Amino acid sequence: MKFETKAVHAGDRKRNGDGRFIPVTTPIYPSASFVYESAAQLDRVLGKEEAGFCYARYDNPTNAALEELVTELEGGAGTLACSSGMMALNVAILAALLDRRKSVLAANALYGATTSLLTKILEPFGIEVEFIDICDTQAVIARLEETRPGCLVLETISNPLLRVPEIDKLAAGAKAVGVPVVVDNTFATPLLVRPIELGASMSVQSATKFLSGHGDVTGGLITADAEYIGVVRSMSRTFGPSLGPFESYLTMRGIKTFPLRMERQCANACRIAQWLGSHPRVSKVHYLADPKHPDTAAIRRLLAEGLYGAIVSFEIKDAGKEDVLRFMDRLRLVVSATSLGDVHSLLLYPLIASHRDLSPKQRERMGIHDGFVRLCAGIEAAEDIIADLEQALG
């Protein structure tokens, strides 16, 4: 089946109960535990000798349906639904390091909370962390061969600078020295890129964003290959990162229209980026369709044809923090909030939000200047989004 068809049908219409009917949409199962006609059957389910559900921290029918759906979209061996994208990333990294050297080689341009996870949580627990220019493929492969870290961590499209590494080549280099690769696929989504198919061990994404798509879910997903899905699920039984069944239901509902929304958002982002490129108050635009993008070769080779993502980052000329805050206050249609991927357009100021916890020097090294903002195009009419940006920029 095509991707769009899988998004509508995968995971749903399971026969349950006495089998007299099949619900068209997977129901919400809020039960904390499940009983069977005999204790012997419960014993078999708890021992994984028979398929079934026993305790919500282990599994849940609503979550299982979402996990089946996302596995189909990502092309992996299985998926775990978690309470947030950051929880999913945390579990994925720990799963990769479980029986390996406790060290991480990571991209030097990452979501601020990911950098904080690595440096403020994992490092104090004794896990070594090294950052590297993930778009310098040969340097990364050389470092993998030299240090053989516990895992490699990167983003499909980096947040918020929109760099695109050669995931397939990096994964091949990592595999050659036995290093698992964890990829945050939130910005790209499985519509644009499927990291498992490119050789990654685990693909992580925030269900809060494009997949659910309506600003009403907080969740995360780990899709793993055959080697790591068992480790991820085993860890989750003890760790307890479970997504609630209502959130799983909302995410499944959102995914049914996700391909349509994402295509519209990508088209809107293209038009917005082109308009911003000629605006006198904008000094620089970051967007994947730009023929001058430093990773154009990787973008054309790895991303779905004609889809360049919904994120446009740009720099307001000679703007300081107060200038950007005034610009945000003047917006009327575009929502200034700390998220992305909703049906409405969202603007984020990394200095006060996603990269707030990084020092000014760290942000400067990453290329995140005081006038830098990140826009996620929604599904509104592109003309209306542009008109709002125009009046706010002045």
pLDDT of residue 18: 60
Please provide the CATH number assigned to the domain covering 3-253: 3.40.640.10
Task: Give the model confidence (pLDDT) of 289-325 as tens digits.
Answer: 999 999 999 999 999 999 999 999 999 999 999 999 9
Report helix angle 85-97 to 229-239, nearest 10: 120
Task: Give the model confidence (pLDDT) of 16-28 as tens digits.
Answer: 656 677 888 999 9
Task: Give the model confidence (pLDDT) of 271-282 as tens digits.
Answer: 999 999 999 999
pLDDT of residue 133: 97
Residues 179 and 132 sit within 8 Å (Cβ to Cβ) = no
Task: Give the model confidence (pLDDT) of 159-200 as tens digits.
Answer: 999 999 999 999 999 999 999 999 999 999 999 999 999 999
Please provide the CATH number assigned to the domain covering 258-393: 3.90.1150.10
The residues spanned by each domain of the chain are: 3-253, 258-393
Q: What is the DSSP letter of 129?
A: E
CA pair distance 222, 91, nearest whole angstrom: 8
pTM of the model: 0.95
pLDDT of residue 16: 67
Task: Give the model confidence (pLDDT) of 245-257 as tens digits.
Answer: 999 999 999 999 9
Show the low-confidence residues of the chain (pLDDT under 50): none
- Nearest residue to 62 via CA among 87, 93, 27, 95: 27
Beta bridge partners of 314: 285, 373
pLDDT of residue 359: 82
